[in-house]
């Protein structure tokens, strides 16, 4: 089947969505349920209607745009990603997967292809953890990894509940209707920039992901004793910042000590109180991210961090609370979907690399619902989550071509 990928349409969609931002260019900021997020969603809805897709949205704001197949009662084959963006992020993370799925479906329609299984584009809500401190909210809820009560308990940094914010954004349905049954989809394939430099370094245009790393998130709250910086002698101090600094170093040590080269750990947020130059820090809160493509080394690092927190706080006489916010199992991409992707790459003459995703994506949770796969395209310098993020338009088009032909194979 001959397919024509419309590069101009892809770039126009990327430009239009990037313009929906809470911050000025070149960075992109789209907080879920915020004004910019709502404008970007409206643009995607309009584009899906132009292509002739049937739209549905659930109570969280997950958007489903369907092209009915000749056997509409069969489970659909789906593709998609997210459009929410971290503060001052780039225009490609997630958005390439949404725009790419739309163009893949459009190209198949232009070519006269008729799917047997329906094809469905999914725009997932809140893949980024920016607002609620937990990533992949939409796909987690679809897969049943978050139940309605857990969703209702979520608050943003201003104390506003997810329920309040979603209703204000127009998503008023019951949360207990969000979860889908396993087998709801026949397959799911996501297109994404690599967010690493392997493909660029090796000069390979397509990555076929075989496994997605297992993420875990810790939050540590430390309560020491404040005081005047000049009046309290060093041996009398219970400095929460210094306890936190030791913990941050212990996080690094824990990742380096698992014996797995794939273990990574990051103290990505470190907040102190009261935050004055002449005041001893009385409290600190750390957010810690730990990952590996296998659960065992990841869990080994988590245990080491937990032990270090207890030892450091005991020695420094600082009280602590350690919360494990999530510890998700790794996902293995489906062999049949991987085979379809490899076959398509060979047919199109595109070199491909079988690889592991060390970043998590909505595919991590869709793999709980159905056979899933993940396509990577190169990102310049491996840079992501900042304004310098860039994917070459030709690489995007190659990724969309692979996606379109794979959707055709899976839905035929």
Residues 111 and 259 in one domain: no
Question: Residue 12: which CATH number?
Answer: 3.40.630.10
Q: Which domain holds residue 227?
A: 216-327
Residue 315, pLDDT score = 98
Contact indicator for 313, 245 with CB cutoff of 8 Å: no
What is the spatial distance between Cα 360 and Cα 127, in angstroms, rounded to a whole number? 9
35 belongs to a structural domain: yes
Residues 11 and 81 in one domain: yes
pLDDT digits (tens, 9 = 90+) for 230-285: 999 999 999 999 999 999 999 999 999 999 999 999 999 999 999 999 999 999 99
| Residue 61 CB contacts under 8 Å (≥ 6 apart), including other chains | 32, 33, 41, 125, 138, 166, 169, 171
What is the spatial distance between Cα 112 and Cα 120, in angstroms, rounded to a whole number? 17
351 belongs to a structural domain: yes
What is the spatial distance between Cα 97 and Cα 366, in angstroms, rounded to a whole number? 14
Residues 72 and 104 in one domain: yes
Of 97, 2, 119, which Cα lies nearest the Cα of 51? Answer: 119
Sign of the alpha-carbon torsion through 353, 357, 361, 366: positive
Of 68, 26, 27, 62, which Cα lies nearest the Cα of 41? Answer: 62
Residues 185 and 45 in one domain: yes
What DSSP letter does each residue of 257-273 carry, written as one string? TSS-TT-EEEEEEEEEE
Number of H helices, E strands in the chain: 12, 17
**Distance linking the first and last C-alpha atoms of the chain:** 12
Total tally of structural domains belonging to the chain: 2
| Residue 110 CB contacts under 8 Å (≥ 6 apart), including other chains | 3, 4
Question: Residue 308: which CATH number?
Answer: 3.30.70.360
Final residue of a domain: which of 327, 343, 358? 327
336 belongs to a structural domain: yes
Contact indicator for 410, 340 with CB cutoff of 8 Å: yes
Residues 145 and 272 in one domain: no
Residues 67 and 131 in one domain: yes
Give the burial class of 39: count Cβ atoms within 10 A of its Cβ; 0-12 exposed, 13-18 middle, 19 or more buried.
Answer: middle
124 belongs to a structural domain: yes
What is the spatial distance between Cα 213 and Cα 202, in angstroms, rounded to a whole number? 21
Residue 210, pLDDT score = 96
What is the spatial distance between Cα 96 and Cα 377, in angstroms, rounded to a whole number? 10
Residue 1, pLDDT score = 87
Q: How many residues does the chain have?
A: 412
Residues 309 and 180 in one domain: no
Final residue of a domain: which of 272, 297, 327? 327
pLDDT digits (tens, 9 = 90+) for 105-137: 999 999 999 999 999 999 999 999 999 989 999
Residues 29 and 110 in one domain: yes
Contact indicator for 247, 220 with CB cutoff of 8 Å: yes
Of 391, 385, 392, 360, which Cα lies nearest the Cα of 28? Answer: 385
Written as tens digits, the pLDDT of the chain (412 aa) is 899 999 999 999 999 999 999 999 999 999 999 999 999 999 999 999 999 999 999 999 999 999 999 999 999 999 999 999 999 999 999 999 999 999 999 999 999 999 999 999 999 999 999 999 899 999 999 999 999 999 999 999 899 999 999 999 999 999 999 999 999 999 999 999 999 999 999 999 999 999 999 889 999 999 999 999 999 999 999 999 999 999 999 999 999 999 999 999 999 999 999 999 999 999 999 999 999 989 999 999 999 999 999 999 999 999 999 999 999 999 999 999 999 999 999 999 999 999 999 999 999 999 999 999 999 999 999 999 999 999 999 999 999 999 999 999 999 9
Residue 214, pLDDT score = 80
What is the spatial distance between Cα 127 and Cα 324, in angstroms, rounded to a whole number? 19
Residues 94 and 209 in one domain: yes
Is this model's pTM higher than 0.85 or not? yes
Residues 382 and 239 in one domain: no
Of 280, 273, 249, 251, which Cα lies nearest the Cα of 263? Answer: 251
Residues 156 and 131 in one domain: yes
Three-state DSSP class for 54? Answer: strand
| pLDDT-above-90 percentage for the chain | 97
Residue 386, pLDDT score = 95
Residue 37, pLDDT score = 98
Final residue of a domain: which of 327, 345, 371? 327
Element (H, E) at 119: strand 119-124
Contact indicator for 80, 366 with CB cutoff of 8 Å: no
Contact indicator for 179, 141 with CB cutoff of 8 Å: yes
Contact indicator for 188, 373 with CB cutoff of 8 Å: yes
220 belongs to a structural domain: yes
2 belongs to a structural domain: no
Element (H, E) at 210: strand 206-212
Residues 306 and 225 in one domain: yes
38 belongs to a structural domain: yes
1 belongs to a structural domain: no
């Amino acid at each position: 089947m001959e397919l024509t990928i419309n590069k101009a349409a892809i770039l126009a969609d990327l430009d239009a969505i990037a313009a929906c931002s809470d911050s000025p260019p070149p960075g992109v900021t789209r907080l879920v349920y915020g004004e910019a997020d709502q404008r970007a969603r409206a643009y995607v809805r309009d584009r899906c209607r132009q292509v002739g897709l049937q739209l549905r949205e659930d109570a969280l704001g997950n958007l489903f745009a369907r092209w009915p197949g000749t056997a509409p009662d069969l489970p659909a084959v789906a593709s998609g990603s997210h459009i929410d963006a971290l503060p001052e992020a780039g225009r490609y993370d997630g958005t390439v997967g949404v725009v790419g799925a739309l163009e893949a479906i459009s190209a198949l329609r232009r070519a006269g292809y008729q799917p047997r299984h329906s094809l469905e584009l999914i725009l997932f809500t809140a893949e980024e953890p920016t607002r609620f401190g937990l990533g992949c909210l939409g796909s987690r809820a679809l897969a049943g990894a978050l139940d309605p009560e857990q969703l209702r308990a979520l608050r943003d940094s201003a104390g506003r509940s997810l329920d309040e914010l979603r209703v204000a954004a127009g998503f008023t349905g019951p949360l207990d209707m969000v979860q889908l049954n396993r087998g709801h989809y026949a397959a799911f394939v996501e297109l994404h920039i690599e967010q690493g430099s392997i493909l660029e370094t090796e000069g390979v245009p397509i990555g076929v992901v075989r496994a997605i790393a297992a993420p875990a998130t810790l939050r540590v709250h430390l309560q020491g004793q404040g005081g005047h910086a000049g009046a309290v002698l060093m041996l009398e101090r219970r400095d929460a910042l210094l306890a936190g600094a030791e913990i941050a170093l212990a996080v690094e040590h824990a990742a380096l000590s698992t014996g797995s080269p794939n273990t990574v750990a990051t103290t990505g947020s470190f907040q102190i109180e009261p935050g004055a130059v002449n005041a001893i820090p009385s409290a600190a809160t750390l957010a810690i991210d730990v990952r590996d493509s296998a659960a065992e080394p990841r869990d080994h690092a988590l245990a080491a961090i937990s032990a270090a927190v207890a030892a450091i706080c005991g020695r420094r006489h600082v009280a602590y609370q350690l919360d494990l916010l999530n510890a998700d199992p790794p996902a293995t991409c489906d062999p049949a979907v991987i085979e379809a992707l490899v076959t398509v790459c060979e047919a199109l003459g595109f070199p491909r690399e079988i690889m592991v995703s060390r970043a998590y994506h909505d595919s991590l949770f869709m793999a709980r619902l159905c056979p899933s796969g993940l396509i990577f395209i190169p990102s310049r310098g491996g840079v992501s989550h900042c304004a310098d993020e860039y994917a070459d338009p030709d690489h995007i088009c190659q990724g969309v071509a692979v996606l379109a032909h794979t959707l055709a194979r899976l839905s035929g």
